[in-house]
Structure 1
Amino acid sequence: MGAVLSKKRIRKSDAVVQEVKVVESCMVAPSAQTPRHGLWLSPLDLMLVNRGHTPTVYFYRSESGGDFFDVARLKAAMAKALVAFYPLAGRLGVGGRDGRAVIDCAGQGALFVAARSELAVDDFSGFKPSPELRRLFVPRVEDYSPPVMCAVQVTFLKCGGVALGTALHHVAADAISAFHFFETWSAFSRDGDAAAAAALEPPFHDRTLLRARSPPFVHPDALTVFCPKLNLSTEPSARPVVSEAFDISKDQVAALKSACVSGEGGRVSTFCAVSAHVWRCVCVARRLPPDATTRLTFPASVRRSLRPPLPAGYFGNGIIWLGAAGQVRDVASSGSEGLPSVADRIRGAVRRMDDELVRSAVDYFELTTEADSKPAPGRMAETELRVISWLGMPVYDADFGWGKPLAMLRAEAERAGFVYLMDGGQGAGSVRVVICTEAAILDDFQRLLYAKF
């Protein structure tokens, strides 16, 4: 018997965009001597060398007195965190005779910006990505050459709250590594030196563990599930694109996971269940031709799939993109076997992750030219959906001593067809779905997301 997801209305921000006034901008260097060398980058890093910085924003509501987000305390804590995470104080450079990109680690520092604004936390109660969110709260890094690896902006709002914008260069860290740094920085600010150092996993910086084989070899079966590139159309879309956030409660997630279990039984992860449901909803809302082939791609961490596994705290890029595909009529089927079948397609791709697949992916990118790593122009085909999961990651653990963030999100979506999943604000087990898609299908997508399944 199907369950029904209750609808939660998301209030749209009606704030008038106002400028942010920068009051301080400086470089924060590590507080102690750090290694000085060109940090070798793996093929999984190099594929992102031209991808630029990942923009995120944390929102904090003021619950305390006058020292709320004290700038001196934040900078001192960052300087201590950068001792262990010293590549984030470096710059993108070129090393050796081969011209291969490296992170030039010489303690140059991370960019720290303090600012003020007449906006308030409640002006962004929808907490969804937008170009204005990035423009207002994420520090500008475009003017720095060579590129900085890490930049943060602390914006004090008129309500007493704070927007903490961050920009980490993707060549330096994936999401797992980025959250590791923010956990460490906030712990130094919150708990002090000894407690932070004792409680946290130190980062591991030897990226040669993801060196390509000699000679590189891509197993023929790898490309049936490994998806190194997006399928993009060079034709611009005439339809406006918007981002929106939807919340699914713990009970609703449990019901969805139960609906994904096939007759043979078996456990279905939250990621597989929610991704399968979102994929079906997008296919139906976009009114795709039944005989078209649709594909869902998603990042998967290689850290535990290698033999031996990567060390705990591996700092860098340790993800590859996997994919599941099928005909629209099968993915969008409303029959009793439809949702379990779609979840099984995704689960099957996850289960294919092993040492050979990861090594083949690393070798593939070793053989890929630098030109191929540049972000391609154009839009994703409507048959494509890309789901990025931050489920289970310490998204809300960035407590600098003044409480956990009210919300955290990517500041600006990349393009239509991108979906982010993260633990929701309705308690453990809830999920927030942030989707960037064509405005014309948003109402249908919302109706389908909260309909019977």
Structure 2
Amino acid sequence: MTPSTKITVVERCQISPPPRSVPAPATLPLTFFDIPWLLFSPSQPLFFYDFPAATTATHFTQTLLPNLKLTLSLTLKHFFPLAGKLVTPPSPLFSDPHLLYTEDDSILLTIAEAAEGVDFKNLAGDHRKMARDFHSLVPVLRSGVLAVQITVFPESGICMGFTLRHVAADWRTFDNFLKAWASLSKNGEILEVAFNDRSVIKDPSGLTSSFLKEWWQIKGTQKQESIEANCRPTYDMIRATFVLGPKEMEKIKKWILTQSEMLFGSAQLLLSPYVIACAFLWVCWMKTHWCTNEDYDDQNVHYFGFIAGGLTRLRYTVPSNYVGNCVRFGRASATRNELLGENGIVYAAKAIEDTINKLNEDMLGGAKNWISEWELLRESELHVAVTGSPKLDLYGLDFGWGRPVKFEEVSIDTTGAISLCESGEVIGGIEIGVALPRSKMDDFSILFNKGLIQYSVGNDLFYCE
């Protein structure tokens, strides 16, 4: 479907680290944390900035773009893997997949201008919007692992869009890169130099070779293309943003703890804001998709997928400025009967917290099954996953023209995931990005708001009849 937000490309340029600033060629092996991301489609984050001073794209290219180009180049000196490319040989007889940076490599930076009449404030709002309106704001990733597009909305604002293959970097690394670029652009300095030594990741159990073997098998059966696409139709997809504030989460927490004591005894759940938000979303998603489905088995197991950081969970030290992946997959499970019942959110919260506790005890427990479990999870309709993290402070990304007024993760249109980040307006709140067909969005919105009412007044409005 043709994107409905019309843009005109004004300039395309290739941005590399400064000449001879990085020893090249540089080959970076994939660690066992990186390899599972070979199976995933790229992230597509957008940052909207209210910036009326950007009168036209021509004005932007003359006044602001030179500094952005220079500071992007200087930032890539430290994050040079993001300027490289992913090499995937045709067979293991040649070599294993790896990241390669040469002096000829670069990031494609595209400057575009939105057509007259395109409503910036509409795109940057929390209300419902057509998903396809955002697609033209996402840069095309023709090669490499990262592409950037800056779209100017004359006399309104700026949208900075990215396409990132996470095989090169997790969200922590990408956030470090963005903050470094923003700091250089605004203040002329990078606060923390990146750490690019992949040998810091230890692999005593041989997970790397095991994962590579599985990946070659998937690639050999020609499932890779379909896995990477991982598409669902987007022609009628609606996007909307929901916010859970601290007050709402505290009411949900008290309700869960009260019911939990009756169901599970005196063992207390700790219930971080992340667990509360995920449990609430899981139940909303379940009731949206399964309340009206009469043809089901109450004992079917449903899964909730999320990403768990490894820096604080590994039994050795990995620097916080490490460039690469240091996250693992978490998968909570509960039966349909539990999740759709009156105490669904209690079972959801316990399942998620139990999974997190297991990861805290042993970050790499069951790691040998990561790829097989996630391939099974993503091919099943009985799951939902969240992407992103409320801990990254994405709304603190200031290039010199203020904080973003809106964050959107476009990839959820096709992956079916739910995006999470910190709220840009509610201190301590969590912002939730959802993309659903129109009819499902109607149901989800009603259930989300009905659930908030339930936990405020303590009745069973949220029960799936």
TM-score (normalised: structure 1): 0.80
Partner residue in 2 for 1:24: 11
Query: Kindly, what percent of the aligned residue pairs are identical?
Result: 21
Report the equivalent of 1:332: 340
| AA in 2 matched with 1:204 | F
Distance 1:105 1:88 in 2: 9
Tell me, what secondary structure is at the counterpart of 2:22?
coil
Query: For residues 256-267 of structure 1, what are the structure 2 equivalents within 5 Å?
Result: 256-261=252-257, 262-263=260-261, 264=266, 265-267=268-270
**1:331/1:377 Cα in 2 relative to 1: closer, same or farther (>3 Å)?**
closer
Contact 2:238 2:438 in 1 (8 A): yes
Alignment partner of 1:187 is 2:176: no
How far apart are 1:297 and its partner, in Å?
Answer: 1.3
Greater alpha carbon shift after TM alignment, 87-96 vs 21-30: 87-96
Q: Distance in 2 between matches of 1:149 and 1:238?
A: 24
d(CA) in 2 for partners of 1:297, 1:41: 23
Give 1:216 shift.
4.8
- 176-185 or 121-130, which moves further after superposition? 121-130
Partner of 1:275: 278
Residue 141 (1) aligns with residue 141 (2): yes
Aligned to 1:38: 27
Distance 1:258 1:39 in 2: 48
- Structure 2 spans left out of the alignment, 5+ residues: 210-226, 456-465
Match of 1:164 in 2: 160
1:289-345 superposed Cα distances (whole Å, 9 cap, x missing partner) = 43322111111112211111312212111222111111112122224xx43332121
Q: Of the candidates 282, 287, 300, which is equivalent to residue 284 of structure 1?
A: 287
1:209 aligns with 2:200: yes
How many residue pairs get aligned? The number is 408
Q: Which amino acid aligns with 1:353?
A: L
How far is the alpha carbon of 1:35 from its aligned partner? Answer: 2.5
Please state which structure has a larger fraction of its residues in helix: 2
Q: Is the contact made by 2:15 and 2:69 (CA closer than 8 Å) also made in structure 1? A: yes
Paired AA for residue 306 in structure 2 = F
Bigger relative contact order, structure 1 or 2 (CA pairs below 8 A, ≥6 apart): 1
Matches of 2:154 and 2:165 in 1, distance apart? 30
Moved over 6 A (4+): 65-69, 234-239, 375-379
Note if contact 2:420-2:431 (Cα within 8 Å) is conserved in structure 1: yes
Shift of 1:214: 5.0
Shift in alpha-carbon separation, 1:30–1:320, aligned structure 2, 3 A: same
Over 3 Å counting, the alpha-carbon distance change for 1:394 and 1:40 in structure 2 is same
Structure 1 residues 416 and 30, CA gap change in structure 2 (3 angstroms)? closer
**Aligned letter for 1:243?**
R
Q: TM-score, normalized by length of structure 2? A: 0.78
* Distance across 2 between alignment mates of 1:176 and 1:304: 13
In structure 1, the partner of 2:311 is 303
Specify the SS of the correspondent of 1:87: helix
Distance in 2, matches of 1:387 and 1:380, equals 16
Q: Return 5+ residue gaps in structure 1 as ranges.
A: 1-15, 219-231
Displacement of 1:393: 0.8
Deviation at 1:130, TM superposition (A): 6.1
Deviation at 1:94, TM superposition (A): 5.6
Matched residues in 2 for 1:180 and 1:320: separation?
Answer: 19
Deviation at 1:184, TM superposition (A): 0.5
Aligned CA distance change for structure 1 residues 18 and 273 (closer, same or farther; 3 Å): closer
Gap change, CA 1:257 and 1:214, over 3 Å in 2: closer
Shift of 1:431: 1.8
